[in-house]
A and B are shown apart, each in its own frame.
Chain A
Amino acid sequence: MTSPALETRRLSKSFGALVVTNEVDFKLERGARHALIGPNGAGKTTFINLITGRIPHSAGCVLLDGEDVSALPQEARVKRGLGRTFQINTLFPDLSVLENVVMAVSERQGRGGDLFRPAGSRRDIIDEAYDLLERLRLADDALRPVRTIAYGRQRLVEIAIALGLKPKVLLLDEPAAGVPSAETALILDVMAELPAEMAVLIIEHDMDLVFRFARRITVLVQGAVLTEGSPAEILADPRVREVYLGERRHD
């Protein structure tokens, strides 16, 4: 029996009195295409931050490949194949698009701490990063500083950096947030081309995108799992409707 790529057991987090993640049991199978949905403030981003170790959890544990990584710092979890994107662009704004991705590839190859050899002499790393840019249709912007390119394309750079890590588990936090709807198709294309063996968890508000991409959906409400199931099951679930219709009315 193989363990899931990623698992959380009774994972919890509170900020003071506010419980933001409430005993979440969650499994992400190998090669999964899994979506995490829920209203704003449900604790989705926090859940990802707990998995990656960006913020310390209060209780429970996180397992990667069946191994407890709860005590490991962020970088050790990345080394074990955990990659993520951020809901709000978290890039190197003054570096070029290509350099942004080179940074990730270079860290993955364990070269980031090399003191003397020029970064430019590692052609293989730069080539790999450039190939990624081509795959994500970013090659035209390779030399532009990231802050000068359109927001939608910056979202692609987020994904490119994560892919530069060749993760086994990829966590995408609202990759299409803030992207004009005409351009979300490009992001969906990129996601459709992700390697089949990569386990992908996506947080997304664009239901269209979720139902086209995900084969499994977990609904998070107020920090706790409301339900989990196939897209059809989720669509049919009256509780989910209630949550979402309530949400829509606020919007």
Chain B
Amino acid sequence: MTKLDRRTAAVHPVDHIAHSHRLRWPEALPWLLIAATYLLFPSYLALGSQVLIMVLFALSLDLVLGYAGIVTLGHAAFFGLGAYTAGLLAAHGWSEPISALFAAAVVAGAFGAASGAIILRTSGLTLLMLTLAVVSLLAEAANKADSITGGADGLQGIVINPLLGRFDFDLYGRTAYLYCAAVLLVMWYVVRRLVHSPFGRSLTGIRENRLRMHAIGAPVRRRLVTAYAIGAAVAGVAGALQAQTTQFVALNVISFHLSAAVLIILIFGGAGRLYGAFVGAPIYMVAQDMLSRLDPVYWFFWVGLLLVLVVLFARGGILGCVDGVRRRWP
């Protein structure tokens, strides 16, 4: 018997499962770091907000890819839909931010449900192509509808009211940072509940063995479409945050590159673990911020190389490696 077995054997197996959703202390770590960043790096809060938004975006992808196992190149479609929804509302006089988040979630979620119901009938390369086709379709539509979206110039004229009618979005990005952190906290709680629910477990089941899930009577496609739609709604919220905190929406919110970037963030951090997003996003965003002062060409090269190396040598990402180390030296 290894050490690990002996440690867990002390708890009755039924209790072990029954308690698996309880909060553990390392889960407080991200929130402590988010709070510490606010206190220690007041001049980096604009970047900090961007990081928090990417954490949320990657978290939404974790539900779709990490848990449900849907490989998608089109997740930016939902981020972009959320961004345009919030941006357009604010540009047309609906300046209250929180209700706009809900609107973004509904629009992105509905689109996720509708497109998911169509494309999740397929699998493999065809599904991959269709996720990419959805993002290309939306990008094309946003580009052509420039009278509405501002096209290549971007959507301008976004006006956001003070948060809760009291807190102005200040020049230093303090309000924006705290706003993003609060929304992330709420969404993290929702996603965490989801992955520990029977529904979330069944997504893991579908990822691990779809055939078996069919054979125990699970409505597999409906579960996948539901997960896809929820993931889309959360991504929509992330997009809306981006539109509100930067008060600008550019066409590149709906692109292959953003889809790929969020995929890379999640895989670097570690997919299917709920916290991969919290690890991957800060590293990626800070590295990008530092390296983009160089030529962006080099950025692409290093990201590409790192991807190749991660796949060849470090599957499971950073958290996967941490797990591996902990298993060896418990």
**Using a CB–CB distance below 8 Å, which chain A residues touch chain B?**
52, 54, 74-75, 78-79, 84, 86, 90-96, 98-99, 102-104, 106-108, 111-123, 126-127, 130, 139, 142-144, 161, 164-165
User: Residues of A contacting B16 with CB < 8 Å?
Assistant: 143
In contact, A107 and B199 (Cβ under 8 angstroms): no
In contact, B209 and A92 (Cβ under 8 angstroms): yes
Task: Kindly provide the distance from the CB of B77 to the nearest chain A CB, expressed in whole angstroms.
Answer: 23
Task: Kindly provide the distance from the CB of A236 to the nearest chain B CB, expressed in whole angstroms.
Answer: 37
In contact, B199 and A78 (Cβ under 8 angstroms): no
Asked whether B196 is an interface residue with its Cβ less than 8 Å from the other chain, the reply is: yes
User: Residues of A contacting B212 with CB < 8 Å?
Assistant: 86, 90-92, 161
CB-nearest residue of chain A relative to B193? A116
Closest 6 CB pairs of A and B: A78-B217, A142-B13, A118-B21, A92-B208, A120-B18, A75-B217
A106 to B196, CA, bound (A): 13
Given contacts A103-B213, A113-B222, A115-B193, list 17 more A-B pairs with CB under 8 A: A54-B215, A75-B214, A86-B215, A90-B211, A96-B13, A98-B14, A103-B202, A106-B201, A107-B216, A112-B223, A113-B199, A114-B198, A115-B197, A118-B196, A119-B21, A119-B197, A121-B21
User: Residues of A contacting B202 with CB < 8 Å?
Assistant: 103, 106-107, 112-113
Asked whether B112 is an interface residue with its Cβ less than 8 Å from the other chain, the reply is: no
In contact, B194 and A116 (Cβ under 8 angstroms): yes
Known: A91-B209, A143-B16. A112 touches B194 (CB 8 A): no
A139 to B13, CA, bound (A): 9
A-facing residues in B141-181 (Cβ within 8 Å): none
User: Residues of B contacting A52 with CB < 8 Å?
Assistant: 215
Task: Kindly provide the distance from the CB of A231 to the nearest chain B CB, expressed in whole angstroms.
Answer: 29
A84 to B194, CA, bound (A): 29
Task: Kindly provide the distance from the CB of A158 to the nearest chain B CB, expressed in whole angstroms.
Answer: 9
In contact, B198 and A165 (Cβ under 8 angstroms): no
Known: A108-B217, A120-B20, A161-B212. A143 touches B198 (CB 8 A): no
In contact, A54 and B198 (Cβ under 8 angstroms): no
User: Residues of B contacting A84 with CB < 8 Å?
Assistant: 215
Task: Kindly provide the distance from the CB of A80 to the nearest chain B CB, expressed in whole angstroms.
Answer: 9
A161 to B200, CA, bound (A): 19
Secondary structure call for the B interface: helix
In contact, B13 and A130 (Cβ under 8 angstroms): yes
User: Residues of B contacting A92 with CB < 8 Å?
Assistant: 204-205, 208-209, 212
User: Residues of B contacting A98 with CB < 8 Å?
Assistant: 13-14, 17
CB-nearest residue of chain A relative to B223? A113
Known: A94-B208, A120-B19. A112 touches B199 (CB 8 A): yes
Task: Kindly provide the distance from the CB of A191 to the nearest chain B CB, expressed in whole angstroms.
Answer: 19
User: Residues of A contacting B218 with CB < 8 Å?
Assistant: 75, 107, 112
State which of A74, A115, A117, A120 has its C-beta within 8 Å of the C-beta of B217: A74
User: Residues of A contacting B215 with CB < 8 Å?
Assistant: 52, 54, 74, 78, 84, 86, 90
In contact, B208 and A107 (Cβ under 8 angstroms): no
A115 to B200, CA, bound (A): 7
In contact, A111 and B217 (Cβ under 8 angstroms): no
In contact, B13 and A118 (Cβ under 8 angstroms): no
Most buried by A among B14, B217, B218: B217
A120 to B209, CA, bound (A): 21
In contact, B217 and A119 (Cβ under 8 angstroms): no
In contact, B13 and A106 (Cβ under 8 angstroms): no
User: Residues of A contacting B296 with CB < 8 Å?
Assistant: none
